[in-house]
Every structure is written in structure tokens, then in C-alpha cells.
Structure 1
Amino acid sequence: MSIEIHNLEHTYNAGTTFSHAAIKGINLQIPDGKVTAIIGQTGSGKSTLVQHFNGLLLPTAGSLEVCGFHIQPLLKIKDVKKLRKEVGLVFQFPEYQLFEETIEKDIAFGPKNFGASEQEAQDLVKKILPVVGLDESYLERSPFELSGGQKRRIAIAGILVLNPKVLVLDEPTAGLDPQGAKEMMTLFMNLNKKENKTVILVTHDMEHVMKYCDHVIVMDHGKVLHEADVKEFFQKPEWLLSIGINPPSIVRLKCMLIEKGFEIPDSILDEESLLECIKGQVIQHV
């Protein structure tokens, strides 16, 4: 089931002198089983939007349909725990949420909170560790003794152990080195491709959007500015430039070559095809 958003609005500190409208009349349908990127400048409303998906925030106006749950203003979401089991939200720097004395206890906290027995929780922990690239030798270690990348894997395991249908990732590779970022994105893409999980990615990294995503939503000042299939989106670099975000390197290179007189079809968005296109034109002029 896709996420459907109807005339969604959210105002912080409504009715006070500090009132701020962060979301303004958004209508969206986020496709099921796909990887959707939500992009925009800091303050555009991206994080506010995704925090509605599991009930961390309630609308000021409008409504959402998420995994069979109806979310609207002034209503307590029926059995919000079940919604948060269906929609896993990975915050930026999720490792800051680690708190237990061992990795096993930290990951087991969620299942036990949902009624799993001690043995059931332990079995789930052992099952999820390989998914995030770790093994049982980590179980009795303190999460605070690990590297930054390992801490993030443990924090994400604590969400994946609940087997959510939707995974919302708010800048999941922030602070990681290139190899760590690649490994993290590979993990999320495997969950999408192999387990058909809907993945929603809030990011500033356009290389990741181009490489991993199916669908793109551009936000600006609390509104949806553009929405498109990822291939169509990157054929319009002016959409990114209009909100001050650099397109991916391959798109910037295409624009430079076009300015130099090369004829390059809009559909070319990978290095190999671009090279073949340029080579053919260079040979003709030799």
C-alpha cells in the first residue's frame, strides 16, 4: 500500500508568536516497493514531512494514509505502536540513540517492547545481525566501543529487527566515509530489492539519488516543487539549480559538453553511454 498525503500542513508553535509553517498543503502519493528520494535545501520541510509517516508528528491540517492507518489532526492514532512497527524511521546519526549496555540488549529492546519473550527477542537479534553485516561475536560487546559505522549498523538493526514494511531514512550516510556510505546504501537497496520494502530517502547527495532511487520529490519552503521519475528528473538539471543544489557529476559534465557544441541526448545518464556518444562525434570531426 502506498503512502497517500492529502492537503497536509504542519505548523510549529501554532497560535503563538513563534508560529512557523513548515509544511504547506502537500498532496503526494509515494509508490509502494520503490526507492523515493525527498530532496531540498535545509529548512525546506523534508524532515518534518517524513516524521508524519509514523506518527511522530500529527498534521495541523490535512491527512495521511500510511500502511492502513489514517492520520489526521487532533486524533490519537489508533494503536500507534503498530504503525511504528510498520514504518521504521532512521534518524540522521541514529547511533546517538544507542543506550543499552550490550549490543544484544539494544537490538532486543524493540521486539521486547512489542511483546516478544526473552528467547524470541534473542532469536530475532541473531537473525538480524548478518543483515547489517555483523556476526554474533558482537552480541556481548558494548555499543559504545564500536566505530562510528558499526554503531550506525547496530542502531539500524534495532529498527530492522521489527521488520517494517516502510523504511524512512533521514540522511543515513551523513558523517560516513565513501566506503561506509556505499556499504550503507547497498544494505538499504538489498532490503528494497530482496524484501520489497518501500524505502524513502531524505538526502542532499545527488549521486545517491541518481544511482539508487526510482522516484524524486523536490521540496522548497514547505511545498512540493517538482516530482518525477528519476530518469526524467535528471534530464532537467535546472530543477536542482533553481533550489541551489548541484546536479550529479555526470549531469554537470553533460551540460559542459553541450555548451562546447556536442549533441547529447537527454536519455544519456551514465558514463559508458556518454563516452560512446562523444567518441562517435569526435571521430566524425577527425
Structure 2
Amino acid sequence: MSIEINHLEHTYNAGTPFAHQALKGIDLSIPEGKVTAIIGQTGSGKSTLVQHLNGLLIPSAGTLDICGFHIQPLLKIKDIKQLRKEVGLVFQFPEYQLFEETIEKDIAFGPKNFGIEEEKANELARKILPMVGLDESYLQRSPFELSGGQKRRVAIAGILVLDPQVLVLDEPTAGLDPQGAKEMMTLFMDLNKKQGKTILLVSHDMEHVMRYCDHVIVLNDGKVLQESDVHTFFEHPEWMIEVGINPPAIIRLKMMLQNKGFQIPDSILDMPSLVECIKRQVNDHE
């Protein structure tokens, strides 16, 4: 079942002199079982939007339907507690999600909060940790002794342990080295391809969006500016440039070659095809 968002609005500090409308009538249908990127400049409304997906924020106006839950203004959080098991949200800053004295307790907190006995919750924590590239030697360590990248892995483990249907990832590879980022993205893609989980990826990394995503949503000033499949999106680099986002390296290379007079079809989005296209034109010129 797709995620349906209708006329969604959110205003911070409503009714005060500090009121700020962060979302301005969002209408979206996010496909189930796909990897969808949500992109846009800082302040475009990305984080505000995704915090509605598991009830961290409640709409000022409009509705949202996700995993069988209907979210609308004035909804009580107790009515959608179970939604937070079905929709896992990993924040951009992992320290926001870490608070227990040991990593084991931190990961086990979620299962215990949903009624699983402590022994079983701890067993789940031990099983999930290797999925994020950490071994059992970390279990009794304090999460606050970890590096930024390790904190991110623990925060992700604390979400995966609940086995959510939908994973919402806000800059999930921030703070990771290139190998660690690749490992995390491979894990998320496995969860999508092998288990059918819906993935929403908030990212400024257009290389990741191009390589891993199926669907792209562009937000600007609290509104949906563009929405398309990933192939169509990257055929139109002007959509990225319009909102100040740096296109992937291969798109920048294509644009440079086109400015030099090469005829590069918009449909070419991979390096082997680009090389063949250039070779043909060079050979024809000779």
C-alpha cells in the first residue's frame, strides 16, 4: 500500500509571532516497496515532512495514510504508538536517538517499549548488531564513547531491531567513511530488494540517489517542486540546479561535453554508454 499524503501543512509555533509554515500543501503518493529519495536545500521542509511519517509531528492541516494508519490534525499520539514500530526513522544526528548507558540497553529499548520481555529484547539486540557492522564486544560499551560513524550504526540498529515496514533515513551515511557508507547503503538495498521494505532516503548525495533510488521527490520552500522516476529526474539536471543541488559527476561531465559540442543524449546516464557515445563521435570526426 502506497503512502498517501493529501494537502499536508505544518506550522511551527502556530498562533505566535514566531509562527513559521514549513509545509505548504504537500500532495504525494509514495510507492510501496521502492526506494524514494527526498531532496532539496536546507530549509525546504524535508525533515519536517518525514517526521510526520511516524507521528513525531502531527499535521496542522491535511492528512497522511501510512501502514494502515490515518494521521490528521489533533490526533493523539497514544492512538498511533504502534505506527512507530511500523515506520522506523533514523535521524540525521544519531546522538538524538542514543540515551541508555550501554549499547545493548539502547538497542533493546524499542522492543521492550512494545512489550517484549527484557531477555528476548537483549537477544534481539545481539542478533541485530552484526547487521550494522558491529560485533558483540560493543554491547556493554557506552554509546557516548563511540565515534560519529559508530553512533550512526547503533542508531540504525535500534530501528532495525523493530523490523519496520518502512525505513525513513535522514542522511544515513553522514559521518561514515566511503567504505562504511557503501556497507550501509548495501544493507538498506538488501532490506528493500530481499524483504520488500519501503525506503525513504533524505539525502544531499546525488551519487547515492542516482545509484540506489527508484523515485525522486524535490522539495522547495515547503512545496513539492518536482516528482519523477529516477531516470527521468537525472535526464533533467536543470531540476537540481534550480534548487542549488550539485548534480552527480557523470551528469556534470555530460554537461561539460555538451558545452564543448558533443551530442550526448539525455538518456545516457552511465559511464560505459557515455564513453561509447564519445568514441563514435570522435571516430566519425576523423
User: For this structure pair, what is the TM-score category when the shorter chain's length is used for normalisation?
Assistant: over 0.9
Compute the displacement of 1:236 (Å): 0.4
Compute the displacement of 1:78 (Å): 5.6
The aligned counterpart of 2:284 is 284
- Once the two structures are overlaid, the 10-residue window that deviates more, 185-194 or 23-32, is 185-194
Alpha-carbon distance in 2 for matches of 1:201, 1:157: 17
The aligned counterpart of 2:46 is 46
Alpha-carbon distance in 2 for matches of 1:105, 1:244: 41
Alpha-carbon distance in 2 for matches of 1:71, 1:145: 38
Alpha-carbon distance in 1 for matches of 2:21, 2:132: 37
The aligned counterpart of 1:20 is 20
Please say if residues 5 and 65 of structure 1, whose CA atoms lie closer than 8 Å, have aligned partners that are also in contact: yes
What secondary structure is seen at the aligned counterpart in 2 of 1:48? helix
Identity fraction in percent: 78
Alpha-carbon distance in 2 for matches of 1:131, 1:195: 14
The aligned counterpart of 1:245 is 245
What secondary structure is seen at the aligned counterpart in 2 of 1:174? coil
Matches within 5 A, 1:38-187: 38-77=38-77, 79-187=79-187
Please say if residues 95 and 154 of structure 1, whose CA atoms lie closer than 8 Å, have aligned partners that are also in contact: no
Alpha-carbon distance in 1 for matches of 2:139, 2:242: 48
**Structure 1 stretches of 5 or more lacking a match?**
none
Letter of the 1:261 counterpart: G
**Structure 2 stretches of 5 or more lacking a match?**
none
Please say if residues 45 and 221 of structure 1, whose CA atoms lie closer than 8 Å, have aligned partners that are also in contact: yes
What secondary structure is seen at the aligned counterpart in 2 of 1:254? helix
Alpha-carbon distance in 1 for matches of 2:115, 2:164: 16
The aligned counterpart of 1:263 is 263
- Give me the TM-score of the superposition, normalised by structure 1: 0.96
Please say if residues 210 and 230 of structure 1, whose CA atoms lie closer than 8 Å, have aligned partners that are also in contact: yes
Alpha-carbon distance in 1 for matches of 2:208, 2:251: 13
Compute the displacement of 1:184 (Å): 2.0
- Once the two structures are overlaid, the 10-residue window that deviates more, 117-126 or 44-53, is 117-126
Tell me the alpha carbon deviations over residues 36-84 of structure 1, each in whole angstroms, 9 at most, x when there is no partner. Answer: 0001111111111111000011111110001000000012156322000
Alpha-carbon distance in 1 for matches of 2:123, 2:81: 21
- Give me the TM-score of the superposition, normalised by structure 2: 0.96
What secondary structure is seen at the aligned counterpart in 2 of 1:224? strand
What secondary structure is seen at the aligned counterpart in 1 of 2:219? strand
Alpha-carbon distance in 2 for matches of 1:52, 1:196: 22
Letter of the 2:160 counterpart: L
Letter of the 1:164 counterpart: P
Compute the displacement of 1:238 (Å): 0.6
Letter of the 1:208 counterpart: H
Tell me the alpha carbon deviations over residues 246-285 of structure 1, each in whole angstroms, 9 at most, x when there is no partner. Answer: 1111011111111111111211101111011111111111
Compute the displacement of 1:162 (Å): 0.5
What secondary structure is seen at the aligned counterpart in 2 of 1:62? strand
